[in-house]
Structure 1
Amino acid sequence: MFTEERRNKILELLKREGRVQVNQLAGMLAVTEDAIRKDLRFLESNDLLKRTYGGAVLPSKHSSFVPYQERGEPARKLPFAKAAASLIQPGETVFLEASSYTNLIFNEIGPIPDVTFVTNGIYGLPDLIQKVRVIHLGGEIHPKDESCYGSITLDSMASINFTKCFLRTSGITPDWMVTTSLRESLDLKKLAMKNSEQIILLVEESNWNQRDMYNVCSLHEVDLVVTNTADTSIINHMEKDEIPYIIT
């Protein structure tokens, strides 16, 4: 594969996923990690991406956020959705943060008795309300996705207690800090955690050892991690720190 072709493939993946890792690219493109780092430096010099610890994100003045509809590979995300849906029990009040997983989780949910779902997302609601009780928090709709944030959303959430909340992250740092790319989602995540008996975090393999703009909490504050990582160093670290996890 020629260098230019390889760099175009890197940009295609980055546009689709919003984030790439050096080791992921090296394996996918069958080149050394040094070659990938050189490609990333070149692409960054042309303002086509921004290098991060172990990888790169889309260039932006404010955020590496990618609209949910532009995030592909639903088959890869389906095991997350199945694992999340299996954790929901009758009689619970569950917060589902708007994400590219939300609609997949909705599709996996059967007719669970006496369950109430609370969400700030809009995408997929017409299907969900045919199955279970739904409370939508309302608020200002984010211009890049179908979800609500802001003071109205937070005011609505403040009076609701959750048995579980399902949250996403765009990066877990090497020192176990959960981060997010959207400032609007930071207060929402913190309030959901405060009001929840159990905090469940969905972490894609590419999100480990990444640092995004805003710090949410330490991973030690999370009650359960659902991830698809095969990295034994990460798994061993979670076991050493006694952080419960599910590998999808």
Structure 2
Amino acid sequence: MLTAERRQFILEILNKDKKVLSSELSADLKVSEDTIRRDLRELAEAGLLQRVHGGALLKSPATASYADRQKQAPKEKEAIARAAAKLVRPRQVVILDGGTTTLQVARHLPLDLQATIVTNSPPIAIALAEHPQIEVVMLGGQLYKKALVNVGAATIEALGMIRADLCLLGVCSLHPEVGISVTNLDEAHVKRAMIQGAAEVVGLVTAQKLDTAATYVVESIQALTYLVTAATVPHEMLVAYKDLDITIIRDEVG
């Protein structure tokens, strides 16, 4: 088998099984594990998978620009946002993480809702500026332009002073074994501080982010109280998460 054929086989198995193990690939393809590790390394460098100890997982799709991500799965994100917005109760303090799905949550909050929204996202703060009864607390820091969120020591310090009722977390990657992960280290620290400052944590996850991994781990999957996704996500994709006692909430795509 040629190198290109072998690597295409690896990608096909990865897309089917959601993970590959170096030892199993070595046996199936009758090549050394060193050869498989080299294949995985070069496929990772090409942005086609995420290497982990002993093999590889699907790579996080959250590498596009904010503008491009706004165009991805808009109906699915709207369904997730509708379901997530219903979890916010009157007079709660809610941490609303940055992201294109969480921006939709801000747009779906009822106009009669009285609450305090804490966010590190300038687009979310602007979206809520005209809301008649929501108080907006904007977290400072350095703007991470790719994701349009504030990050850094100032952001984390401010989060350390807040005890929120709820955190609505934008999820870059979610995997039952790896946990919650992102592509930027500063953003990982901020998300961890958000989780630690909230009584309940809601992960907002589109289908393409399930069973994927990124470079920087935020927290284990047990950090989530709820996982909100769309009803179009196949049940079999959610079994591993249900087995970890995470409450799954699904809404129909309009």
Which TM bucket (shorter chain)?
A: 0.7 to 0.9
Tell me the CA shift for residue 127 of structure 1. 3.4
Equivalent residue letter for 1:96: L
Aligned length: 205
Task: Give the secondary-structure state (helix, strand or coil) at the position aligned to 1:101.
Answer: helix
Q: Residues 186, 55 of structure 1: CA spacing in aligned structure 2 closer, same or farther, 3 A cutoff?
A: closer
1:92 corresponds to: 92
Equivalent residue letter for 1:242: D
Contact conserved, 2:169 with 2:202, CA < 8 A, in 1? yes
Task: Give the secondary-structure state (helix, strand or coil) at the position aligned to 1:159.
Answer: coil
Equivalent residue letter for 1:125: A
Task: Note the aligned Cα RMSD (angstroms).
Answer: 2.6
Contact conserved, 1:172 with 1:208, CA < 8 A, in 2? yes
Tell me the CA shift for residue 48 of structure 1. 5.4
Q: Which range moves more in the overlay, 99-108 or 192-201?
A: 99-108
1:224 corresponds to: 226
Q: Deviations over 1:151-199 (max 9, x none)?
A: 1111221111110001122222352522111211111111111110101
Task: Give the secondary-structure state (helix, strand or coil) at the position aligned to 2:200.
Answer: strand
| Structure showing greater Rg | 2
In structure 2, C-alpha distance between the alignment counterparts of 1:161 and 1:239, rounded to whole Å: 27
In structure 2, C-alpha distance between the alignment counterparts of 1:137 and 1:169, rounded to whole Å: 19
1:143 corresponds to: 145
2:63 corresponds to: 65
TM-score computed with the length of structure 2 as normaliser: 0.72
Map residues 48-197 of structure 1 onto 2, 5 A cutoff: 49-52=47-50, 53=56, 55-56=58-59, 65-71=63-69, 72=71, 73-131=73-131, 132-175=134-177, 177-197=179-199
Larger RCO (CA within 8 A; separation ≥ 6): 2
TM-score computed with the length of structure 1 as normaliser: 0.73
Unaligned stretches of 5+ residues in structure 2: 1-13, 17-38, 51-55
2:21 corresponds to: none
Unaligned stretches of 5+ residues in structure 1: 1-20, 24-40, 59-63
Task: Give the secondary-structure state (helix, strand or coil) at the position aligned to 1:50.
Answer: coil
Equivalent residue letter for 1:148: N
Contact conserved, 1:50 with 1:57, CA < 8 A, in 2? no
Q: Residues 133, 233 of structure 1: CA spacing in aligned structure 2 closer, same or farther, 3 A cutoff?
A: same
1:243 is aligned, of 236, 243, 246, to 246
**Identical residues among aligned pairs (%):** 20
Q: Residues 157, 48 of structure 1: CA spacing in aligned structure 2 closer, same or farther, 3 A cutoff?
A: same
Runs of 4+ residues over 3 Å off in structure 1: 52-58
Equivalent residue letter for 2:78: L
